């Protein structure tokens, strides 16, 4: 079976080549993302396209893949908002993903962002390097006894809820499908979204991007939040209306913002643009604020997660091609 990889980074090649020793598939790597302009790279002898978070697998691309008789689209990530599932089903192309490769990796990165912003570690690091040992401007707060609001309590959100509970915070949660175990053992209290917005000192987003969650952080909801609230998003960029969040930062409603994902990230993330002038003015503005921390979609980026992603992606394809179903994981879409 031949698999064409899009948006390939050097670490993808390392981890997939290593795991593929036990599967023996033919792997072809393209650095470019998959979109209408690049779908022509897929050759007729290819069976699978393997894509990542910013590949555009829309109806047009899927139609072209169907013409090339592609059997499977394998997402090497958990989120699948970039794939037109209806179009894939219409053309009998089966779609699989890696539902929970390492929720701890993403939850730990979320925690790292929270602590960095609260204790201003990003500023302290630079200061000390310049022999500025002053503490002025580095004041933080205790996280202990604060109220944390977590939107989405699935694989990642539930791990993050437990981490926050262990720190002695009160954890408020909102999810369309509450996790009964989290509630039963006293880790969280499920509340309506409005209560979460009004009572939380820190809000962290762990829900998928859907039509219902698109811009869930908008001007109206920002107004409901506590003054100086910290907001962290390690889920998907479009959960936040960037214009509204910039306004919120400017008028000090938002005290700190940590984002590992960004609305327009497909044009910049996963690339080294250090020798260029950044064209995205909103991102440039955000990175200039002292209370904003931006990381470039790296929450998943641990050795354990990459090993698991490579194994599960290839194992999904092995199972689909041999037994026609994936047993033991909610991987087929
Ligand atoms: P999951 O599917 O296990 O959990 C998502 C939860 O969100 C579910 O409990 C679901 O009921 C809930 N949800 C759905 N619609 C909602 C709504 N309208 N309001 C509130 N809650 C809602 O997904 P998982 O694995 O926890 O991942 C969460 C998100 O994290 C993914 O969708 C993905 O976008 C993102 N992610 C980001 C990574 C990164 O590197 N930054 C890596 C992996 C995932």
Distance of CA 152 from the midpoint of ligand 1 (Å): 6
Distance 75 CA to ligand 1 centre (A): 15
Least confident of 6-10, 96-100, 150-154, 250-254: 96-100
161 lines ligand 1 (CB under 6 A): no
Question: Candidates 208, 259, 309: which one to mutate for ligand 1, based on the most atoms within 8 Å of Cβ?
Answer: 208
10 Å Cβ neighbour count for 197? 24
Per residue in 50-97, pLDDT (tens digit) is: 999 889 999 999 999 999 999 999 999 988 989 999 999 999 999 999
- Measured in Å, residue 220 CA sits from the centre of ligand 1 at 22
51 three-state secondary structure: strand
Q: Measure the CA–CA gap between 157 and 255, rounded to whole angstroms.
A: 22
Atom 42 of ligand 1, residue of closest alpha carbon: 300
Q: Is 151 in the pocket of ligand 1 (CB under 6 A)?
A: yes
Q: Do 2-101+302-323 and 103-294 agree at the fold level?
A: yes
Residue 297 in contact with ligand 1 by CB distance below 6 A: yes
Helices 281-288 and 242-250, interaxial angle, to 10°?
30
Q: Is 299 in the pocket of ligand 1 (CB under 6 A)?
A: yes
pLDDT, tens digit, 9 for 90 and up, residues 17-40: 999 999 999 999 999 999 999 999
Between the alpha carbon of residue 279 and those of residues 20, 56, 148, 276, 282, the distances in Å are 39, 21, 35, 9, 9
- Whether 208 and 182 have beta carbons less than 8 Å apart is answered as no
**Total-model pTM:** 0.92
Res. 140: pLDDT tops 80: yes
**Digit-coded pLDDT (tens) for 192-227:** 999 999 999 999 999 999 999 999 999 999 999 999
Instruction: Find the 254 Cα to ligand 1 centroid distance in Å.
Output: 23
112-139 burial by CB neighbour count: b if 16+ within 10 A, else e?
Answer: bbbebbbebeebbeebeeeeeeeeeeee
What pLDDT, on a 0 to 100 scale, did the predictor assign at position 101? 85
Tokens standing for residue 62: 């899927």
In this prediction, residue 328 has a pLDDT band, given cuts at 50, 70 and 90, of confident
Residue pair 56/82 in contact (Cβ under 8 Å)? The answer is: yes
Matching CATH number, 103-294, of 3.30.465.10, 3.40.50.720, 1.10.10.10, 3.40.50.300: 3.40.50.720
- What residues does 257 pair with on adjacent strands? 231, 292
- What DSSP state is assigned to residue 202? E
Q: Answer whether residue 41 shows pLDDT above 90.
A: yes
pLDDT tens digits for range 297-318: 999 999 999 999 999 999 999 9
- pLDDT, residue 100, reads 82
Ligand 1 atom with the smallest distance to the CA of 156 is 26
DSSP 227-241: TTEEEEE-S-GGGB-
d(C-alpha 146, C-alpha 169), whole Å:
5
Q: Average pLDDT of 239-254?
A: 98
The whole-angstrom separation of Cα 236 and Cα 226 is 23
Q: Which residues contact 224 (CB under 8 A, 6 or more apart)?
A: 194, 197, 198
The response to whether residue 97 sits with its C-beta less than 6 Å from ligand 1 reads no
* DSSP code of residue 57: B
Nearest CA residue ID for atom 32, ligand 1 = 208
Whole-Å CA distances, 284 to 101, 279, 287: 32, 8, 5
172 CA → ligand 1 middle, Å: 16
Q: Whole-angstrom Cα distance, residue 188 to residue 144?
A: 15
Q: Give nearest CA residue, ligand 1 atom 11.
A: 177
- The proportion of the chain whose per-residue pLDDT surpasses 70, expressed as a percent, equals 100
What is the structure's pLDDT at 153?
Answer: 98
In 167-205, where does DSSP find H-type helix?
180-184, 193-199
For atom 8 of ligand 1, which residue has the closest CA?
154
pLDDT tens for each residue of 112-126: 999 999 999 999 999
Instruction: Kindly list the domain boundaries of the chain, sorted by start residue.
Output: 2-101+302-323, 103-294
Distance from Cα 151 to the centre of ligand 1, integer Å: 9
For residue 329, name the pLDDT band (cuts at 50, 70, 90): confident
From CA 213, how far away is CA 207, in angstroms rounded?
Answer: 8
CB 280 within 8 A of CB 242: no
Q: Retrieve residue 105's tokens.
A: 């990796």
Beta strand extents in 120-236 (DSSP E only): 147-151, 170-174, 189-190, 202-205, 229-233
Provide the annotated active-site residues.
236, 265, 297
Q: Is the CB of 153 under 6 A from ligand 1?
A: yes
Q: Please work out whether the CB of residue 270 comes within 6 Å of at least one atom of ligand 1.
A: no
Compute the distance between CA of residue 262 and CA of residue 285 in angstroms, rounded to an integer: 13
Q: Which CATH class is domain 2-101+302-323?
A: alpha beta
Specify the pLDDT at position 216.
98
């Amino acid at each position: 079976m031949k698999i064409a990889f899009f948006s390939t980074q050097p670490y993808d090649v390392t981890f997939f080549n290593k795991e593929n020793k036990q599967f023996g598939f033919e792997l072809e790597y393209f650095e470019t993302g998959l979109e209408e302009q690049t779908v022509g790279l897929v050759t007729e002898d290819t069976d699978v396209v393997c894509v990542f978070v910013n590949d555009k697998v829309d109806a047009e691309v899927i139609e072209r893949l169907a013409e090339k008789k592609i059997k499977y689209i394998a997402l090497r990530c958990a989120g699948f908002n970039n794939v037109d599932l209806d179009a894939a089903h219409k053309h009998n192309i089966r779609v699989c993903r890696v539902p929970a490769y390492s929720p701890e990796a993403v939850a730990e990165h979320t925690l790292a962002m929270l602590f960095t912003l609260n204790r201003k570690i990003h500023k302290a690091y630079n200061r000390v390097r310049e022999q500025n040992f002053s503490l002025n401007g580095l004041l933080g707060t205790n996280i202990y006894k604060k109220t944390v609001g977590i939107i989405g309590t699935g694989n990642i959100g539930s791990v993050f809820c437990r981490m926050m509970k262990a720190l002695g915070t009160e954890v408020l949660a909102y999810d369309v499908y509450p996790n009964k175990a989290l509630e039963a053992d006293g880790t969280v209290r499920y509340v309506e979204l409005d209560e979460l917005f009004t009572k939380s000192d820190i809000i962290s987003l762990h829900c998928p991007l859907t039509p219902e969650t698109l811009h869930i952080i908008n001007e109206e909801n920002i107004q409901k939040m506590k003054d100086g609230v910290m907001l962290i998003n390690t889920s998907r960029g479009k959960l936040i209306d960037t214009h509204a969040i910039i306004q919120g930062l400017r008028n000090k409603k938002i005290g700190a913002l940590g984002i590992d994902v960004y609305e327009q990230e497909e044009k910049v993330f996963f690339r080294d643009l250090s020798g260029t002038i950044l064209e995205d003015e909103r991102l440039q503005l955000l990175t200039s604020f002292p209370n904003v921390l931006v990381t470039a979609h790296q929450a998943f980026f641990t050795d354990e997660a990459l090993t698991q992603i490579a194994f599960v992606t290839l194992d999904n394809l092995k199972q689909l091609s041999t037994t026609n179903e994936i047993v033991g994981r909610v991987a087929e879409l």
